Amino acid sequence: MAIQDVFLSPLGLAALLFAVPIVVLYLIRPDPDRVELPTFRFLASEKRQRATSPYLERLSRSLLLLLQLLAVVLVALSLAAPYVLVAERTTVEETVIVVDSSASMATTDGGESRFAAAVDAAEGAVTSTTSVVTTAGSGEVVARRATPATARDALSRVEPTGAPGDLRGAVTQATALAGENTRVVVFSDFAGDRWADPVTTARARGVTVDLRQFAGGGGANVGFIDREFAGSQVTLTAKNFGDEETTRTVTLGDQRREIRLAPGGVGEVTLSVPAGGGEARLEPGDDFAVDDTAAVAAPADETVDVLLFTNDRNRYLTAALEVIDQVNVTVAEPPTTVDREYDVVLYGDVEAESLLPGNVETGRQVLAGGGGVGVVAQPEPPERLGDLLLLEPAGTASTPRVESTTRTQLTADIDFQPPSVYLNGSLREGRALVELDDGTPLLATSERASGRLLYYGYIEDGSSFKFNSRYPVFWKRAAFYLADRPTLSSVNHATGETVEFDAETVEGPEGTLSGPMVTLREPGFYGTDGARESAALLSERESDTAVEPIDERDRTGNIARTAPSQVPRPLTEYFAVGALLVVVAEIGYLYRRGDL
């Protein structure tokens, strides 16, 4: 054992050298001169013989030396700072509690969820100063250096979410809060391994990190892990995370499909989306109910009725609209009358002398009713269209260059090629989404009252865009935009996403939320007066609820539940107090002996 294993400052032992002059002084001190008084000699001799023995007399002479030497030894030891090793947690003055509030913590075991058990245990870890961090966001701090009562109140208000959590970010946040003599305690099921690196980093910084695992239940989970839309249909993907083959029934509305899943197997079911949407379910359920359902939002009237006025039937445009399942196309050749209602009205290749005022009024009525009007460019657009045409025409021009494209829902992932011939002019209102080098808009939109206007600047005979593979995609987006009808994929989200609503308040699965930006933390439907959207847990990581115990990971060299950590506890104050007591005893002895 090295001297450093006992003393923090071994140099302090040099104070023992002060004992040398004390001993030397005792050795060279001259004996006192004796003066005998004849009248007192016989009385003193008799009294001394009765009161003491030679052994005690020698001891009394050396007691003062012993006290002085003991004082020097104790002072020297206190200066050397002796210590003992103790577990670091015994020196903790502050605690940072991390509670996993992710979806997988809702897994039940014997009727109690992992989250409920974790919160109960977390309340027992509260110390005089406690911070509380959850896995919401990138680590949400719900209590910062709080008193025990405040910390326990914060824990009681934490709720599990139906969204993936960020345990990695929460541990990082907790490490940032940790000061000297602070312990971080993590309560989680520890699904996955993305949390391991920040735990290792925190321990490398000298922060004590204790891991408390709650991984009961969830051993045979089957859940939805994906949801994709094509037209008016949804394809739901389910996975069996258990070790045995199982069969599940998928329901949506009045539709039922049975799937058989091998251990670790994945299966798909394609169903029609009912008008107004619905909730897909896996039956029977299991310990983890969150991924047994997937909400599917859809408009009450999913069909977009489009009326196309044209005197030269555009087979490319008509074909692009007709292949869309949710679009019903009616082609009208002016002069003609219209006696039904439509969501969208398009004008393309219309003869000016054939277009009736009633045909234009039909577009204005649709626009006023919240629908949309689109005008396709032609060399000589009818003046009767008036302000339904967003462009102020100024003749035709050729060989332009596309100057800029604004990325929107209409233009995303589409390469708009320059036309060989185009209608030149300036924008009357709205904004240009695609602009040519001379400032002419090739694609423009505008919102008027509750309706929408679209200008499509390609003259069909003067461009090759109609042969582009994204041509049908553009017109599907245009039809849905003009009808203010969102696509199914745009209104169905995964939990954890942040969505912007057109309202200041949004009704969520568990009450009213403040908008317009809302983070979808719970699965279910989110609605405003004019729209309804959905969120579902679609996370394979969260659904894999059969979690390996941390102790087993430790044996395989992964990460330990509690890092072995010991710190020195100095004993200086104890030796200093001992030295002080010895000095007091020495003074008392001198006083009793009569030297003071």
DSSP state letters, 211-247? EEE---S-TT-EEEEEEEEETTEEEEEEEE-SSS-EE
Helices assigned H by DSSP within 399-539:
471-482, 488-491
C-beta neighbour count of 531 within 10 angstroms: 16
456 and 554 together in one domain: no
- For the segment 482-496, the average pLDDT, to the nearest whole number, is 91
Measured CA to CA, the distance from residue 262 to residue 246 in angstroms comes to: 7
318 and 209 together in one domain: no
Q: Which residues pair with 443 in a beta bridge?
A: 434, 456
Per-residue CA distances from 172 to 98, 175, 343, 360, 564 (Å): 10, 5, 52, 62, 20
pLDDT on residue 43:
53
Judge whether 490 lies within some domain: no
Domain span holding position 457: 304-482
Judge whether 431 lies within some domain: yes
399 and 421 together in one domain: yes
- Which of 482, 501, 536 terminates a domain? The answer is 482
185 and 95 together in one domain: yes
C-beta neighbour count of 253 within 10 angstroms: 16
Judge whether 111 lies within some domain: yes
Measured CA to CA, the distance from residue 565 to residue 551 in angstroms comes to: 17
Among 20-24, 37-41, 373-377, the least confident range: 37-41
Q: Kindly report the backbone phi and psi dihedral angles of residue 280, in degrees, each rounded to the nearest multiple of 5, phi listed first.
A: -80, 140
DSSP strands (E only) in 88-171: 94-99, 108-109, 112-113, 130-134, 140-146
- Which of 431, 457, 482 terminates a domain? The answer is 482
Q: What is the dihedral of CA 48, 53, 58, 61, to 10 degrees?
A: -40
Judge whether 235 lies within some domain: no
Is residue 224 within 8 A of residue 280, CB to CB? The reply is yes
- For residue 122, the 8-state DSSP code is H
For residue range 209-244, what is the model confidence (pLDDT) as tens digits? 999 999 888 888 999 999 999 878 999 999 999 999
Measured CA to CA, the distance from residue 181 to residue 183 in angstroms comes to: 7
422 and 475 together in one domain: yes
- Decide if pLDDT at 55 tops 50: no
65 and 126 together in one domain: no
Tell me what percent of the chain is helix, strand and coil, each rounded to the nearest 5: 30, 30, 35
pLDDT band of residue 565 (cuts 50, 70, 90) is low
For residue range 70-112, what is the model confidence (pLDDT) as tens digits? 888 888 888 888 877 765 544 456 899 999 999 999 999 888 9
**To the nearest whole percent, how much of the chain has pLDDT over 70?**
89
For residue range 306-364, what is the model confidence (pLDDT) as tens digits? 999 999 877 899 999 998 888 999 999 999 988 889 999 999 999 999 999 999 999 99
The three-class DSSP label of residue 543 is: helix
Pairing assessment for the beta strands 130-134 and 208-213 based on DSSP bridges: unpaired
Pairing assessment for the beta strands 431-436 and 402-405 based on DSSP bridges: antiparallel
Q: Kindly report the backbone phi and psi dihedral angles of residue 537, in degrees, each rounded to the nearest multiple of 5, phi listed first.
A: -75, 115
Q: Which residues pair with 486 in a beta bridge?
A: none
Measured CA to CA, the distance from residue 492 to residue 294 in angstroms comes to: 10
207 and 116 together in one domain: yes
Measured CA to CA, the distance from residue 373 to residue 452 in angstroms comes to: 7
Tell me the one-letter amino acid at 114: R
pLDDT on residue 73:
84
335 and 461 together in one domain: yes
Please measure the distance between the N-terminal and C-terminal CA atoms of the chain and give it in whole angstroms.
Answer: 45
Pairing assessment for the beta strands 566-570 and 83-87 based on DSSP bridges: antiparallel
pLDDT on residue 414:
94
pLDDT band of residue 153 (cuts 50, 70, 90) is very high
43 and 123 together in one domain: no
How many domains, the chain? 3
Judge whether 532 lies within some domain: no
Q: What burial class does residue 319 get, using C-beta atoms within 10 Å of its C-beta: 0-12 exposed, 13-18 middle, 19+ buried? A: middle
Rounded to a whole number of angstroms, the CA Rg of the chain reads 43
- Decide if pLDDT at 557 tops 90: no
Mean pLDDT of the chain: 87
The three-class DSSP label of residue 181 is: coil
73 and 127 together in one domain: no
Among 41-55, 366-380, 574-588, the least confident range: 41-55
Judge whether 368 lies within some domain: yes
Judge whether 501 lies within some domain: no
pLDDT on residue 254:
93
C-beta neighbour count of 94 within 10 angstroms: 18
Q: Using alpha carbons, select from 85, 80, 115 the residue that is nearest to residue 100.
A: 115
**Which domain CATH number covers 371?**
3.40.50.880
For helices 19-28 and 54-79, angle between their N-to-C axes, nearest 10 degrees = 160
pLDDT band of residue 556 (cuts 50, 70, 90) is very low
Measured CA to CA, the distance from residue 569 to residue 90 in angstroms comes to: 10
309 and 450 together in one domain: yes
Q: Which residues pair with 239 in a beta bridge?
A: 223, 266
Is residue 133 within 8 A of residue 166, CB to CB? The reply is no
Q: Using alpha carbons, select from 446, 445, 448 the residue that is nearest to residue 456.
A: 445
64 and 99 together in one domain: no
- Decide if pLDDT at 188 tops 80: yes
pTM of the model: 0.68
pLDDT band of residue 13 (cuts 50, 70, 90) is confident
Judge whether 249 lies within some domain: no
